[in-house]
Amino acid sequence: MFRSLYFKIVLMMIVFILTILCVVSTVLLGSVFSFYTDQFIEQMDENFQPASLLYTELNAALTSASYAQEQKAILRSYASILGIDQYRNYYILTPDGVMLAGSDAQLGASLPITPNLLSAMGGGEGNRRSGNAGYADYAVRLDGTENSSIIYVKDTLEEMDQLNSRLLSIILLTFLVGVLIAILLSFFLAKAITAPLQSLTVGAQLVASGQFSHEIDVHSRDEIGVLTDTFNNMKNVLKNTLLEIDGEKTKLETVLSCISDAIVAFTDTGAVLHSNESARELFGAPLQDGSFTMERFFEEFDIPMERRSKGIMLSVGVSGVERSDDGTLTFRDKVYSERVFDVSLGRIRFISDTEKRIGLIAVIHDVTGRFELDKSRREFVANVSHELRTPLTSIKGACETVMEDPEMPEDTRRYFLDMALTESDRMTRIVSDLLILSRLDNKRTQWKVETFDLCASVRHLLDVMRIDIETRGHTVRFTPQGEIPPITADKERIEQVVINIISNAVKYTPPGGKIDITAFYADEHVTLKVADNGIGIPEEDQKHIFERFYRVEKSRTSETGGTGLGLAIARELVEAHKGTITLTSTVGKGTVMTVTLPRVCNPS
């Protein structure tokens, strides 16, 4: 209540009125006093001047022996002119100040010697103002030939005091009425001031709670109206600024979430400051539940860094770290959760509790693909070298043996030359298979698309492979199911796929095996299945079987002359035709290879 604006305004008004009344009463009472004393002196001066009738009469009376009584009589006749009453009296004194006669003998008996009286006794003028002495007096000395007397008029100022007390009571009454009016006025004034202030307060509270839609009504054009208007503008500017910041934040978050690299920012205390979607996917639960820290991150990625009080330090003597000009450190080929990453670490500045701080940002780039590619390239080169060196060594050995022994029997020489020929055929096969793959890789294969009957091709190819099949004593059956429409594709390349699959079934099935080939048409696709009851492919090898140079056991294929490129080529060719090639296999029971091709293919 005492803090309210209403109370303060009432208090202010009362103090204001009190101050004014104090000033007014002081001035008024002071003026009344000086007016009264001035009037007194003026009145006396006028009547007691030497040219005045009263003065002449009083002077003339000095010749008489009873001059005092005569002067008293003269003064009595002038009583009304001199304003003589119960508070103002006149006295006739000897030049020594002894009272001879007066209007109030009782008061006159104990007259104090005032400065004016003293001055008149000394022969001077007695008309000076008495100041705050509490009386007003006037003394005039009359000197006749025989006698001298002093006429002394003294006013007790009681009349003036009475007037002043009346004035004071009027002032007090005015004060009381003023205070009542002030209280009433203050109520309306406070209402007029506080009502817009209250709606401003409500508006400010809404803004503080994040609600920007509330617009405060402006009712006046005074200072409060301008303040309300300014507040509304400020609120709108704040709203727009916050929207802009929010927009920027959303943009940044969208950009960060679109980045496939995992990004995590840490504070200087090691806690996660920010992370993107990829980081949350990579690190999973620890990142969500807050248990993921900078230390844990360093540990997981085996990064030789540690957090110290003065920042994040790289352990001494670590090599193989790439340092860029802006101070970013990159650790290559870090393995985490069976994937390979390049981890870049940089410093970030952020503000926490209005304090500028330095944290760490980690960008974790998945290089598993590149790593695998590099690895498979290295393996491929090693495989090619190995595959070519074996036949080359055999050819070189055979040639040297033949050359070193010219006397060699004919059949032995033929044996070595046959061996050299077989190995050079194998080399030619490898090289031409690699060439096919290289053309497919570089998209330089010249496709010859035509419409042909796949079943007719299968039958034709079985005819071509008949000798091989019969030599191994296999039984081969081809039973197309339903009507198979002709397909549009590169006939030669599709036949290559069929040869590779059937020849594998023939090669990897022990003599006297059964090979069942079926074909069917469904949903615009033609499917060819080659099932054998051969040695089968172990489960762990199945996912690698279409890789270049991959063979289940090297020894398995050395006798069959396999290169490990047949299925790789088959898959590349089928996929170039937008088809699929899959297998199911059980060791010791057999393998089923399934090729599905669209009826109309446009290989690329």
Pick the stretch among 263-271, 321-329, 350-358, 563-571 that binds ligand ADP (CB under 6 A).
563-571
- 561-595 burial code (b ≥16 CB/10 A, e <16): ebbbbbbbbbbbbbebbbbebebebeeeebbbbbb
In the complex with ligand ADP, the residue whose CB is nearer, 323 or 544, is 544
Q: How far apart are CA 147 and CA 141, in angstroms?
A: 11
In the complex with ligand ADP, the residue whose CB is nearer, 203 or 534, is 534
Residue 566 touches ligand ADP, criterion: CB under 6 A? yes
What single DSSP character describes residue 61?
A: G
The pair of structure tokens assigned to 558 is 């050395």
Residue 500 touches ligand ADP, criterion: CB under 6 A? yes
Q: How far apart are CA 134 and CA 467, in angstroms?
A: 159
CA dist 332 → 281, 296, 322, 364, 405 (Å): 21, 18, 8, 10, 57
User: Alpha carbon 58 to chain centroid distance?
Assistant: 105
Where in 508-537 is the site for ligand ADP (CB under 6 A)?
508, 532, 534-537
What single DSSP character describes residue 216?
A: P
Helical (H) or strand (E) element with 362: strand 355-366
Pick the stretch among 86-94, 373-381, 485-493, 550-558 that binds ligand ADP (CB under 6 A).
550-558
Residue 567 touches ligand ADP, criterion: CB under 6 A? yes
Binding mask 574-593 for ligand ADP (x = CB under 6 A): -----------------x--
Residue 557 touches ligand ADP, criterion: CB under 6 A? yes
Where in 103-132 is the site for ligand ADP (CB under 6 A)?
none
Q: How far is the CB of 578 from ligand ADP (least distance, A)?
A: 21
Residue 545 touches ligand ADP, criterion: CB under 6 A? yes
Q: Which residues pair with 566 in a beta bridge?
A: none
Q: Among residues 88, 154, 235, 551, which is the contact residue for ligand ADP, using CB under 6 A? A: 551
Residue 182 touches ligand ADP, criterion: CB under 6 A? no
Phi, psi of 348, rounded to the nearest 5 degrees: -125, 150
Q: How far is the CB of 497 from ligand ADP (least distance, A)?
A: 11
Pick the stretch among 23-31, 47-55, 165-173, 562-570 that binds ligand ADP (CB under 6 A).
562-570
Q: How far is the CB of 378 from ligand ADP (least distance, A)?
A: 20
Where in 461-480 is the site for ligand ADP (CB under 6 A)?
none
Helix (H, G, I), strand (E, B) or coil at 99: strand
Residue with tokens 């205070």: 179
Q: Which residue is nearest to ligand ADP, using beta carbons?
A: 562
Number of neighbours of residue 301 by Cβ within 10 angstroms: 17
> According to DSSP H, which parts of 326-409 are helical?
368-404
Residue with tokens 């701080």: 357
Residue 556 touches ligand ADP, criterion: CB under 6 A? yes
Q: How far apart are CA 598 and CA 487, in angstroms?
A: 8
Label each residue of 452-465 as H, E or C.
ECHHHHHHHHHHHC
What single DSSP character describes residue 327?
A: S
Q: How far is the CB of 503 from ligand ADP (least distance, A)?
A: 8
Residue 267 touches ligand ADP, criterion: CB under 6 A? no
Q: How far is the CB of 347 from ligand ADP (least distance, A)?
A: 52
Q: Which residues pair with 314 in a beta bridge?
A: 305
Residue 504 touches ligand ADP, criterion: CB under 6 A? yes
Which of 554, 531, 552, 557 has the alpha carbon at shortest distance from 474?
Answer: 531
In the complex with ligand ADP, the residue whose CB is nearer, 275 or 500, is 500
In the complex with ligand ADP, the residue whose CB is nearer, 56 or 560, is 560
Residue 564 touches ligand ADP, criterion: CB under 6 A? yes
Which of 155, 161, 146 has the alpha carbon at shortest distance from 33?
Answer: 161
Q: Which sign does the torsion angle of CA 554, 556, 561, 565 carry?
A: negative
In the complex with ligand ADP, the residue whose CB is nearer, 108 or 566, is 566
In the complex with ligand ADP, the residue whose CB is nearer, 231 or 478, is 478
In the complex with ligand ADP, the residue whose CB is nearer, 402 or 501, is 501
Q: How far is the CB of 589 from ligand ADP (least distance, A)?
A: 10
Pick the stretch among 16-24, 96-104, 154-162, 559-567 that binds ligand ADP (CB under 6 A).
559-567
Binding residues for ligand ADP, rule: CB under 6 A, are 500, 504-505, 508, 532, 534-537, 545, 550-552, 556-557, 562-568, 591
